[in-house]
Amino acid sequence: MSAQTKTIGLIGGMGPAATLDFFDRILKRTKAVRDEDHLRVIIDNNTKVPSRDAFSKGEGPSPGAAIAASARGLQDAGADFIVMACNTAHAYEADIRAAITVPFLSMIDETVAAAAELRPERVGLLAADPCLRANLYQDACRKARLDLVLLPADSQRTAQELINRIKSGDTGDTVRRSMAVLAKKLEALGAEVIVAGCTEVPIVLTADDVDCELISSTDVLVEKSILFAGAELKA
Amino acid sequence: MSAQTKTIGLIGGMGPAATLDFFDRILKRTKAVRDEDHLRVIIDNNTKVPSRDAFSKGEGPSPGAAIAASARGLQDAGADFIVMACNTAHAYEADIRAAITVPFLSMIDETVAAAAELRPERVGLLAADPCLRANLYQDACRKARLDLVLLPADSQRTAQELINRIKSGDTGDTVRRSMAVLAKKLEALGAEVIVAGCTEVPIVLTADDVDCELISSTDVLVEKSILFAGAELKA
């Protein structure tokens, strides 16, 4: 089996903790005993991409070219398809697709498809500010005819602060509890499914923290990537 | 600072857990708050390299060409220097150096240099069978005039079994305790410093498990890589 699997190219670094988490989950979810049973994954932990947040506020250069160059570099290094461990950076999906000839699996599309399968009335979203400003989940949910619930402005400010703390390495109890409170708020607003639509979120939020279904954009793309690569999921 | 740092190219996949651990330690040891304070690291988790163990027993093709191709791919993708998260695979260091024009930092040389700084009478080594067969640490210690203590044959069999279990994802208490027993055996044989000379070993063995100094080949190369890249170590 192992010889015929595809090589995953992972655009990362936005942030590094989410990239590590994505890689960790790929290893944990792949059915494997020996080294060679695992998938080949080429990762560009590219922390030098211009700030997505600054650009989305009109305060800096576009990250698009740097992200596209990462994608191309991964393809040249042997990746058979490309994924990206950052929801927000999917605002530059067109740049990526223009730079490569191999497939790109969209975290946004796969996550919304996974949410749609549960046929919820309303989907709650935990996402970073620049991701919301880029309307990535809003557009994808509209296409999938899913009703989206966002946090009120003050809670969204807290969400962004928590994401920043996770990016700086703080995954302690306070951050965990505060993120769970935000998820509960989305439930109170009628969400039947909550999408962890930022790869920092599932680092601290688990299914046990909410009563409704939690869909982790990381887990969705990890599983899809393993299957697309031709390996099996660990039971 | 961040713009001038060098990009690390990490040859990994031998095994994947050790590669994840190496990446994790790079993130934990780098002084950083925001994404862009972290180093850019390009990782080839290349699990499709022919078995080092089989080749060292004369039973399979050489892994040299695949490892060299990984190194070259990392350089082409933008790595300013190359490191490898596997001691055993340093048997193919010459292939790597022949394939790249950027520097290669040797885990073996850096680890032995760190051990030599402690000026021990005797250095105990925990390593995998094919690493021992390649005489990597034996040769480096001879050059550094360090007296090396190896495990007796039956304990070495246990060490290799434990390494295989860690590679398969088992990092539980039994594996931890058994690895600590082997370290204690090296102490009983007169080791004043123990070198964890296999990147699977520091996943389960910590300084608390031994009375003498423990030198993790992973930690040594992680710290050296961060400094060589031009970033600072977290205090």
Contacts of B23 in chain A (CB under 8 A): 20, 23, 43, 45
Nearest CB among A16, A32, A74 relative to B38 is that of: A16
Q: How many helices (H) and strands (E) does chain A have?
A: 11, 7
Closest CA to B13 of B38, B41, B50: B50
Interface check B122 vs A, CB under 8 A: no
pLDDT at B167: 85
CA distance B24 to B10: 13
Chain A residues within an 8 Å CB radius of B17: 27
Q: Spell out which residues of chain A touch residue B15, defining contact as CB-CB under 8 Å.
A: 35, 38
CA distance A144 to chain B (A): 32
pTM for the structure as a whole: 0.94
Whether residue A38 and residue B51 make contact (CB cut-off 8 A), yes or no, is: no
Residues A131/A88, Cβ–Cβ less than 8 Å = yes
Amino acid at B33: V
CB contact under 8 A, A74 and B73: no
If we measure between CA atoms, which residue out of A99, A64, A105 comes closest to residue A81?
Answer: A105
Whose CA is closest to B77, among A80, A70, A97, A68? A70
Instruction: Extract the residue ranges of chain A whose pLDDT is less than 50.
Output: 1-2
Q: Do B2-106+220-229 and B108-217 agree at the fold level?
A: yes
Q: Tokens 């034996």 map to which residue?
A: B138
Compute the nearest-CA separation of A189 from chain B (Å): 32
The predicted pLDDT at position A2 comes to: 45
The answer to whether residues A229 and A39 touch, using CB atoms and an 8 Å cutoff, is yes
Q: On the CB side of A228, how many CA atoms lie within 13 Å of its CA?
A: 22
Residue-wise pLDDT for B24-68, tens only, equals: 999 999 999 888 999 999 999 999 999 888 888 889 999 999 999
Q: Kindly determine whether residue A169 and residue B28, on different chains, have CB atoms separated by under 8 Å.
A: yes
Which of A45, A86, A165 has the most B C-beta neighbours within 10 Å, making it the best mutation to test the interface with B?
A45
CATH, range B2-106+220-229: 3.40.50.1860
* Cα A125 from chain centre: 12
**Among B131, B141, B198, B212, the one annotated catalytic:** B198
Q: What is the pLDDT of residue A1?
A: 42
Which residues make Cβ contacts (< 8 Å) with residue A44, sequence separation at least 6? Answer: A9, A10, A11, A12, A13, A70, A73, A74, B40, B42, B77, B78
A198 is catalytic: yes
Q: What is the pLDDT of residue B2?
A: 45
CA distances for B19 relative to A233, B23, B51, angstroms: 20, 6, 16
> Using CA atoms, how far apart are residues A132 and A148, in angstroms rounded to an integer?
12
Q: Judge whether B32 is closer than 8 Å to chain A, CB to CB.
A: yes
3 state DSSP class of A172 = coil
CB contact under 8 A, A42 and B40: no
Question: What class, spelled out in words, does domain B108-217 have in CATH?
Answer: alpha beta
- pLDDT of the residue at A3: 54
Chain B residues whose CB is inside 8 A of the A36 CB are 47-49, 51
- Contact assignment for B42 to A39 by CB distance below 8 Å: no
Domain boundaries along the sequence of chain A: 2-106+220-229, 108-217
Both structure tokens of B113: 């240099």
Per-residue pLDDT, B169: 85
**Crossing angle of helices A217-229/A107-117, nearest 10°?**
100
The nearest alpha carbon in chain B to A48 belongs to: B36
Judge whether A131 counts as a catalytic residue.
no
pLDDT < 50 stretches in chain B: 1-2
Predicted confidence at residue B1, as pLDDT, reads 42
